[in-house]
Chains A and B, each alone.
Chain A
Amino acid sequence: MTPVVAEGLVKRFGKTEALRGVDFDIERGRVLGVLGPNGAGKTTAVRILTTLLKPDAGRAIIDGIDVVKEPRKARGRIGLTGQYAAVDERLTGFENLEHVGRLFHLGTGEARNRAHELLDRFSLEFAADRIVKTYSGGMRRRLDIAMSLIARPSVLFLDEPTTGLDPRSRLDVWDLIEELVRSGTTTLLTTQYLDEADRLADEIVVIDHGEVIARGTSDELKRQTGGDQIEVVVEDPADGPVVATALAEWCCGDAHIDVDSNSVVVPVADVRGMVPQVVRLLDENSVKVRDVTVRHSTLDDVFFSLTGHTTASEDAGDQPEAAE
């Protein structure tokens, strides 16, 4: 059974359409990255799947349970880490975990055991009896994720898990999520960071303005939008066309000759292992090469070519989601 299915999800807030028919599913043990700028509809989709919000149309299924029809049953299957670290600052780390365990109806003993297990696993045992108010941002986030795992959820939702963290804590959280994923937890991860999706997700759906505009693995997406580039800078401007012809075999798209900078940019599908051949070929053609640069396409390029804007440039204020 596919643990997560979203079918034609539509959600309106007044006149704004936050979601306009979003479909995706996640296979058991896989990580789906939902990528998009602020206000794209990522959080709205997560809130529907986690029973916090009712869709205006479409279906959301967790482990075969319709989340609208049987919300409490669905809640027994999921763990949610929202955008804010949802921890009770007045309690200790241990108490926070124990509390959530009890609300999952684990017995007292099991709730405590799980709390210790997770504190240990998340390197928080040293601060187990400290009040959460004294925790750093990274520690809170780790505790927050631990809290969503207390009842061994079938599906884990991580809504922008590293937003607002410093780079160091971000790497910590990444390590944690990677380990989590290796243990087989089906995960939906939303992020506006392309490198995050690139690193953690098996599959990515790109959402913009409430619609899925692309999907696939990170590599597939990169290929779909042109892939890598080789840039050759030549000594003699006359050599430009020679280079373009010589590399035509690998070129996928249009080679671009820039006369001012004496450079030729050739889009290629996959640049790996290509450089020695390129250099040899140019040498055979007696081209005097000043420089060869290789550029791997990033998800940033993908995002830009799909949406016409970068993830950061989107105005967060025009959709209500960011404020919720």
Chain B
Amino acid sequence: MTITFNEAFGAPTEEVEVPTGPKWLLRDSWTEALRHLRALPRNPELLMFATIQPVMFVLLFAYVFGGSIEVPGYDDYNQYLMPGIFAQTVLFGSAFTGVGIAEDLSKGLVDRLRSLPMYSSAVLIGRTISDVVRNVLTFAVMLIVAYLVGFRIEGTIWEAAFATFLLFAFSYAFSWVQALMGLSVGSVEAANSAGFIWMFPLTFVSSAFVDPENMPSWLQPIADANPFTIVTNACRALYNGRDAGSDPWVALAWAVGITVVFAWLSARKFASSASK
């Protein structure tokens, strides 16, 4: 084989070993996550809007509705409300996953990534991981604001840690739902609306803001069965140091189930989205 050699461009590599195994899947995923995390501080608007909305919700609900809403078992509405707003916020944060994936698709970046000898599922895993990290930042800001309006963690540190873990497990699960949507819709704009619209009924028809007991009788069973109600109840009980019963485990089961099903569907969709 005669190949003219040029230092800068370089001659083709003779034999490229494509490494396989779970270690490389993780490495590829982390490389992809870093792509998004590096960009995070450069888009302060995105970070700002991701934080302003939850802060606004904390303040609006605490001060506008706080005086009028009474919930059984809680003297201070803030103690009832904040875990619900935490859960809603991290769930809303998952919408960025779908938007980001739709953006990569529309810019042809996914084609490039799919032509590389990496694990292609790392594109989706990296994206969802980076969204969790961003969500942690949002959560931290919100926790501070919640403290300022009078919310206090009354459970043990372990209970609080478990509650926080549940929140992120749940938002991670929904990142995969959003990933599937981002892969399915045709444009970034569509991903944006499609990603947010259904989260309003999901989070409001629940125990997050009010006691479902006061909802119309036909709505009550829906709110009670809503996995969002379960995760909210679990976190609320844990943050307040009360008996959470089986809720945390049911919530965890939901998170794991949704993650498994939608990760599988998304990976399939991802492979075929490039196979048009």
Contact = CB atoms under 8 A, between A and B. Distances in A.
Interface string A73-89: 10111101011111111
A20 interface: no
B42 to A, nearest CB: 6
A237 interface: no
Contacts of A52: 111, 114-115, 274-275
Interface string B8-44: 1111110011111000100010011011001100110
Contacts of A82: 108, 111-112
A184 B116 contact: no
Interface string B113-138: 11111100000000000000000000
A43 to B, nearest CB: 10
A50 B35 CA distance: 23
B3 A184 contact: yes
A104 B9 contact: no
Interface stretch (A113-121, A164-172, A252-260, A284-292): A113-121
A73 B115 contact: no
B6 interface: yes
Contacts of A324: 276
A118 B8 contact: yes
Dominant secondary structure of chain A at its interface with chain B: loop
A243 interface: no
A186 B34 CA distance: 32
A28 interface: yes
B109 A86 contact: yes
A183 interface: yes
A75 B113 CA distance: 10
Contact of B6 (A103, A147, A182, A186): A182
B118 A121 contact: no
A88 B42 CA distance: 13
A129 to B, nearest CB: 12
A146 to B, nearest CB: 10
A86 B112 contact: yes
A149 interface: yes
Interface residues of B, number: 41
A153 interface: yes
Nearest to A44: B276
B1 interface: yes
A140 to B, nearest CB: 11
A309 interface: no
A118 B6 CA distance: 12
B16 A78 contact: no
A148 B108 CA distance: 13
A51 B108 contact: no
Contacts of B35: 88, 91, 99
Given A51-B115, A76-B18, A103-B118, A182 B39 contact: no
Contacts of B8: 117-118, 120-121, 183
B113 to A, nearest CB: 7
Interface in B61-119: 107-109, 111-118
14 contacts: A72-B20, A75-B18, A75-B115, A84-B107, A86-B107, A86-B109, A91-B39, A153-B12, A154-B12, A180-B9, A182-B6, A183-B5, A184-B11, A185-B9
Interface of B: 1-6, 8-13, 16-20, 24, 28, 31-32, 34-35, 38-39, 42-43, 107-109, 111-118, 274-276
